[in-house]
Structure 1
Amino acid sequence: MLTADLLAVVASVVLVAAVVFSPAAAVRPLAVAVGLPFVLIVPGYALVSAVFPRAGEAAVGPISGTSWLARLGLSIIGSVVAVAVVSGVLDFTVWGFGRTPVMVGLCWSTLVTTAVAWYRRRRLPMAVQAGTTAGNVGTRLGEIIGSNLTGVLLTLVVVVAAAGAIGVVANESTDTGTVTEFYILGQNESGQLVAANYPSNLTAGEPVTVGVGVGTTRESGFEGRVVAAIERVTLDGETTRITESQPLGSFDVQVSAGERTLRRHTVQPSLLGERLRLTYRLYKSGADTPHRRVQIWVSVTQS
């Protein structure tokens, strides 16, 4: 079975996880050098491999290099789609839209699609499988470059455009990279704050306590304000519109470089309804737009 490319995908996930989710992530050039190529190509390649397990399916043509070049182009497009989908899904979860949750989501989705690709590929005769062996990697690269130089140049243009698109996501997620963590914690039976037991069914006027955490990079600290609200939202096409909102208080935060702070916050919502959004927004001092946002979905009923 031709699996060298899929093994390379798994190895790249392990490498990215080892760098991004460790103290090595503080070394920005290393994090970018490892993370950017991964985000640009690997999730999309795993997706393309799952959809097209047979050689030659990604492009019609007599030259194998054309098919591999088409796979590369589709991989870049697929990666942009994967980043957008993972980011959109996370925006409706308790983790919210941030660099770390997005990378975790990309790693897991890549492993899942790689498993699907492996399963679909192994059901085909080896002669028509889309993969390659470790010894043929250099040959495949030579075929791609030698057979269609114009196509390679156009693919590089797509890479640059995709890097810009993903850079927008990274900028939205990190916003100068000062805050690396902004999260909500639930409360267990003993009153400890944990990443579970999030409140979901609330009673109007009755207090409920959550934990709100803020963490910074090693380069700089953060000073600002956390603002809480419970919101009724509607989905208008691809836009989430706030139709009703109740402020639930705010508090100042000041975090030193490389440190984190965790604060308990008690709210008493009176806005009634199902699938309301309990939202916390983090503002930099003097800023009118939020630096980061996290949310959990709750229902509020009358007592």
Structure 2
Amino acid sequence: MVENRQLPLDLLLVAGFVLLTDVLVLVPVLNGSFLRTGLGIVLVLFLPGYALTGAIFPAKKNIEGIERVAISFGLSIAVVPIMGLGLNYTTWGIREIPLLTVLSVFTLLTCAVAYYRRRLLPEAEVFGVSFKAFFLSMNAEILEKPGSKIDKILALFLILSTLISMGSLAYIIENPKEGEHFTEYYILGANRTTENYTTEFVQGEQGTVSVGIVNHEYRPVDYTMEVRLENNSLPLPENQRRVSLEHNMSWEAPITFKPPFEGKNMKLEFLLFNETEKTVPYRNLHLWINVTKEA
């Protein structure tokens, strides 16, 4: 006869939070939401520890409600850095997707172990969560057991402090302090490296470099680019001459030019202007080139 047991609502809820966090992080249209940040913090600071606590203490008599929650925070704070340290010695490194994968797999597998260990116990001894009864029991533990009242209050204070810290961390992540305002501007030579630039040309011969712009100005910026050879402007297509970028957006494209006259040690400039200053370049890069007469 198969024993009819209630579903482990707490473990199902933990697994659901893990999967929802994965979706919010991995789906591009959703990964900018505040909910993603909040669930990510819960995944790091609470869920792994709660699943591990459930696996270690499957019986309701092992530990009481408040202690179970407090131990969950403590185990998460202990286990997650160990996972990060392990990832640091792999080819993946401590990056968002590998860390999310490790945390998710660990939490889900530990939930499965917790469920298996509960199945081995008589139903009357198994720890389970009726959320209304859970909070009522925590309140009763504090009020009805004077001998341990101070311990309960301290445990509750620890939980509240952790929740406040989680909320503060979420706010800081969503509202980071602005750093230095600047624009990255670079040119790349052969094989997209910062060397091996072509500097020898024949008059009328076409040359190409890759030019990149990265906006770190904390605002949208309309850039204008100009290429000059010895202060003589060289023609550029409109889609390369004007570039509009949002904050933290980047642009890179091959820029083609033809030196129209010969000369030695001539200054080939790549000038970048922003919308606030049209006469003085905001960024200035240059190469020294030689152009010989066409044979």
TM-score by length of 1: 0.49
- Output the amino acid matched with 1:74: I
Q: Which residue of 2 aligns with 1:122?
A: 119
Q: Which residue of 2 aligns with 1:45?
A: 50
The alignment status of 1:148 with 2:145, answered yes or no, reads: no
Q: Which residue of 2 aligns with 1:20?
A: 25
User: Using a 3 Å threshold, how does the CA distance of structure 1 residues 157 and 93 change in structure 2: closer, same or farther?
Assistant: same
Q: Which residue of 2 aligns with 1:299?
A: none
Q: C-alpha distance in 2, partners of 1:51/1:129?
A: 12
Q: Secondary structure at the match of 1:25?
A: coil
- Structure 2: which 5+ runs fail to align? 144-149, 180-214, 221-246, 253-295
- Output the amino acid matched with 2:158: V
Q: Which residue of 2 aligns with 1:34?
A: 39
User: Using a 3 Å threshold, how does the CA distance of structure 1 residues 125 and 101 change in structure 2: closer, same or farther?
Assistant: same
How far the C-alpha of 1:37 sits from its partner, in A, is: 2.5
- Output the amino acid matched with 1:33: G
Indicate the RMSD between aligned Cα atoms, in angstroms: 3.9
How far the C-alpha of 1:143 sits from its partner, in A, is: 1.1
2:50/2:69 contact within 8 Å kept: yes
Q: Judging by fraction of residues, say which structure has more strand.
A: 1
User: Using a 3 Å threshold, how does the CA distance of structure 1 residues 102 and 162 change in structure 2: closer, same or farther?
Assistant: farther
Per-residue CA deviation, residues 106-130 of structure 1 (Å, 9 max, x unaligned), is 1110011011111111011100001
The alignment status of 1:103 with 2:100, answered yes or no, reads: yes
User: Using a 3 Å threshold, how does the CA distance of structure 1 residues 161 and 6 change in structure 2: closer, same or farther?
Assistant: closer
Query: What is the percent sequence identity of the aligned residues?
Result: 27
Per-residue CA deviation, residues 6-50 of structure 1 (Å, 9 max, x unaligned), is 1111111111111122222222x2222222223222111100000
The alignment status of 1:257 with 2:248, answered yes or no, reads: yes
Q: Which residue of 2 aligns with 1:160?
A: 161
Q: Secondary structure at the match of 2:67?
A: helix
User: Using a 3 Å threshold, how does the CA distance of structure 1 residues 141 and 161 change in structure 2: closer, same or farther?
Assistant: closer
Alignment partner of 1:139 out of 133, 145, 168: 133
Per-residue CA deviation, residues 177-219 of structure 1 (Å, 9 max, x unaligned), is 99xxxxxxxxxxxxxxxxxxxxxxxxxxxxxxxxxxxxx99x8
Q: C-alpha distance in 2, partners of 1:21/1:100?
A: 8
The alignment status of 1:83 with 2:80, answered yes or no, reads: yes
Q: C-alpha distance in 1, partners of 2:27/2:52?
A: 26
Q: C-alpha distance in 2, partners of 1:8/1:177?
A: 37
- Output the amino acid matched with 1:25: N
Q: C-alpha distance in 2, partners of 1:258/1:144?
A: 49
Q: C-alpha distance in 1, partners of 2:35/2:52?
A: 26
2:43/2:103 contact within 8 Å kept: no
- Output the amino acid matched with 1:157: L
1:83/1:102 contact within 8 Å kept: no
Q: C-alpha distance in 1, partners of 2:219/2:83?
A: 28
User: Using a 3 Å threshold, how does the CA distance of structure 1 residues 76 and 33 change in structure 2: closer, same or farther?
Assistant: same
User: Using a 3 Å threshold, how does the CA distance of structure 1 residues 165 and 141 change in structure 2: closer, same or farther?
Assistant: closer
How far the C-alpha of 1:156 sits from its partner, in A, is: 3.9
Q: C-alpha distance in 1, partners of 2:178/2:125?
A: 46
User: Using a 3 Å threshold, how does the CA distance of structure 1 residues 86 and 140 change in structure 2: closer, same or farther?
Assistant: same
Q: Which has the larger radius of gyration?
A: 2
User: Using a 3 Å threshold, how does the CA distance of structure 1 residues 93 and 165 change in structure 2: closer, same or farther?
Assistant: farther
1:40/1:159 contact within 8 Å kept: no
TM-score by length of 2: 0.50
2:51/2:110 contact within 8 Å kept: yes
Paired residues, what number?
177
The alignment status of 1:71 with 2:79, answered yes or no, reads: no
- Structure 1: which 5+ runs fail to align? 59-66, 179-215, 222-255, 262-303
